[in-house]
Amino acid sequence: MVNLKPVLFVIGLVLSKIALFMYIPTLTAFFTGTSGFLDFGMSVIITHIAAFACLSVGKTDNFRLNARDMFVITTLVWAIASAFAALPFVFINHISFTDAYFETMSGITTTGSTVLSGLDKMAPAILLWRSILQWLGGIGFIVMGVAILPFLNVGGMRLFQTESSDWSAKSSPRTKSVAVSIMKIYLILSAACFFSYLLAGMSPFDAVNHAMTTLSTGGYSTSDSSMNHFSHSAQWVGTVFMFAGGLPFLLLMQALRRRDGKMIVMDAQVRGFTYLVLATSFMVSVWLVLTRDYSVADAVRVATFNIVSVVTTTGFGLDDFTAWGPFASVIFAFMLIVGGCSGSTAGGAKIFRFQIALALLKKQIHQLVHPSGVFIQRYNGRTVNEDIVRSVVAFAITYILTILVIAMILAATGLDGITSLTGSMTAVANVGPGMGHVIGPTGNFSSLPDTAKWALSIGMLMGRLEILTVLVLVFPAFWRD
């Protein structure tokens, strides 16, 4: 059985931190004299009470977590935290809990899909809260990808298992040290992004919001026009820091500690990620110059920004790439599901799984040519054993099935095929915008039925937690001793 007290205690800790971060928009509303002070105040009180209850009931002298507990905690923390973090949207924007939960789940999973409009005139407190949710979700996912998912062997993540993935009492100091170091890098990059946006002409308020949603690869903006509202130099700043958010933060930490930049350049994930961005940006740039009368400079800027935005699952809008013709649409449809590097803030299927699949294909071809040969599959200098290959294959199958099931649910609510399929893809991949006139880069998700919004919310959660982490909870065998 699951150790209920430690699970409740961890949930209480997370809710207490959510309540503390709610003080930031509460004070913003108070000192700026704008709406939201009382609404955030009520949200803070309710969240603090729930946190105190969980901490009181869950307090125990025997705090031990096994793998089953970690599966339950990982799913419940994100689901329950989203419920309480949704309260300000209900109180301030006066929207339904369904819409508020969708907006919050989209924020905390750094998906970036939204049901809100009129952002340019919205209360600063709620805009700041949306950005904070994405910033917290970004660092939360980095730590989860470095320490928890490799420990649980989800989707082949054991390939990245290190000492920081060991949850025994002996290694807890090491795990804490790695988490602190990653947080420092996250803060430094966030600050660098903020000052870069300031230099690019953004106001301090816009800069701090976009710094949080850029590095977290979340994509929430303070304007309905998204990045179209800002200067070309701001768009290049966004491109650079979205790309940084898609890199493996554990590798960045190790490279800084050893003062060895070659570690980053020589990493297979980083090279694959970089080559993919450069190749697709080049192809789309050429396409825009030849077919859409863009200048070379504008084509490179717009194509690179949109490619990086989609592949890192940020979802910032800059022009409507769905109107660029079938060639560009096919490229972006593929990029919707790829994602960034493992251990980054980006969602998606992750680059390393595509690289392992290609290496497996190469191995099978060699095996056909030389039936008696022995070929060892390696990745980044590590042997890829059968256990990892099985995990990657299982993830790929469940990833595709999850997208198809959610797409069928959306279609059953009356949505058209393009909206249903790309809506499901963008939710599970945590990208943000879909394709088509309803949920494309210039639209939003407000017109979708409540059933569709709940299905997409579940899809966002499953996609962010690598599908199997959530799916395992529905099997009876998981709950048996």
Which of 477, 388, 470, 373 is CA-nearest to residue 73?
470
Q: Does the annotation list 313 as a binding residue?
A: yes
DSSP code of residue 156: T
Q: Does the annotation list 345 as a binding residue?
A: no
Question: Alpha helix (H) ranges present in 33-66?
Answer: 37-58
Cα distance between residue 396 and residue 393, in whole Å: 5
DSSP string over 297-338: HHHHHHHHHHHHHHHTT-----S-GGGS-HHHHHHHHHHHHH
Q: Does the annotation list 383 as a binding residue?
A: no
Helix (H) or strand (E) holding 82: helix 67-85
Interacting residues of 392 by C-beta distance below 8 A, sequence separation 6+? 155, 156, 353, 356, 357
Cα distance between residue 241 and residue 344, in whole Å: 12
Rg (CA), the chain: 22
CB burial of residue 55 (10 Å; 0-12, 13-18, 19+): middle
Cα distance between residue 320 and residue 440, in whole Å: 8
Helix, strand and coil in the chain, % to nearest 5? 70, 0, 30
Which of 416, 392, 437, 212 is CA-nearest to residue 316?
212
Q: Does the annotation list 111 as a binding residue?
A: yes
Interacting residues of 80 by C-beta distance below 8 A, sequence separation 6+? 11, 14, 15
Q: Are 5 and 58 in contact (CB under 8 A)?
A: yes
SS3 1: coil
Cα distance between residue 407 and residue 409, in whole Å: 5
Q: Does the annotation list 110 as a binding residue?
A: yes
Compute the C-alpha angle 64/67/70, nearest 5°: 75
Q: Does the annotation list 434 as a binding residue?
A: no
Which of 16, 33, 142 is CA-nearest to residue 85?
16
| CB neighbours of residue 37 within 10 Å | 20
Cα distance between residue 17 and residue 203, in whole Å: 28
Annotated binding site: 110-111, 218, 313-314, 430-431
Annotated binding site for K(+): 110-111, 218, 313-314, 430-431
